[in-house]
Structure 1
Amino acid sequence: MPDAPGDPGAPRLFLASRNAGKVAEVQRLLAEHLPGVQVLGLADVAAYDEPVEDAPTFAGNALLKARAGVAATGLASIADDSGLCVDALNGMPGVLSARWSGLPKDDRRNNRLLLDQLHDVPDERRAAHFACAVAVATPEGRELVVEGRMPGRVVREERGEGGFGYDPLFVADEHAAAGPDGRGLTSAELPPGEKDRISHRGRALRELAPQLADLLRPR
């Protein structure tokens, strides 16, 4: 089992991600049900061969990563697969969101490509939603999968310094008229707590958290 700082008696959970922002987000969202939980990311454990994310669905890719995490670390492992589904692009980038502009993965390049693809699409046809599947696998062989969704639209320029991925281009329906000019606040402009409240990942993790707490609670 990998070493980690913090309370040795606290539950430990491996998150199959290199994204420091995502690790912090998951830790924040789970803390209510698992006080003191230590969420470890890929940077905190020994390197292992990560699975190819070749499943056709978010749930399938999340399970692939969670199962590989358990095999590599011996810890209960959580993995998510999420992406932006744009109506005008027939639901794409979808499961290809992180590598939409090719490899290596690059958020800014992905955002520029998406803006180029939607350049001539009028505002009323820029509807989209973020989708997320979160999977948990345990060393005992138990598995859970939950899904969440956040509807909104793609705007015409990047705004905000927070978040990651397509957050600077996405305005959720709940914030479509927010901001001083009424043009809506992107996910990258929202305070972390508010983003957690409405996000696809936040909704999925809130559904998952009580079940996960039961799985990880000492017997």
Structure 2
Amino acid sequence: MPLSIPPAPAPALRSVLAALDSPTAVREARTPALRSAQGPLAPDSALPVHVLDGILASDESPRTRLTSWRFLIRSGERAVAAADAKLTADGWTFSHFFEGPYIAATENALRQAEAMNKSYQPRLLSVPQLYMMTLWLHADTGSDASDPGSTPAPTDLLVPLAPAPPGIAAHRPHRVSELLPVMTLRLKQSPLLGSPA
């Protein structure tokens, strides 16, 4: 079934388009693939990025916070980089370009989700405590993807992107209710610091 992809805020898209049109922003980006891309570059597959903090806190439903909108940057048929737009006091603004394994992993996970027999609203969920990024497939396709304090429902799916932390299978859909206890156990065994985003 087709994914119900939420529209990115227009100012976020405009800020990324302006950065792509800026030779200085592209030239100074730490993304060799972006600088060496042939032909036009275009933003695509915008997804809200939510961060899950403190998953060891309690038995309460996990809460997230919206941190950015991520756009895959296409050159021809493939994504060569990504761009984040962040919400500031002045509104949505371009943050940075980047590349790495999560670009291809996000594309693969989106294709995988498209082949499922149920429609979902895709989002990205970052778990800094595990240096982990997942595709969050939210079952409520009519919900506001920009809600700053969304709660993953127990029946929502999380698809860990590669590279995933040891003991968590990448590109395998997990119900939130099944993956959260695994993530909690993983943190208790060997906490990691950092952020994948």
Q: Normalising by the residue count of structure 1, what TM-score does the alignment of the two structures yield? A: 0.26
**Quick one: higher RCO (CA 8 Å, sep 6+), 1 or 2?**
2
Q: Normalising by the residue count of structure 2, what TM-score does the alignment of the two structures yield? A: 0.29
Higher strand share: 2
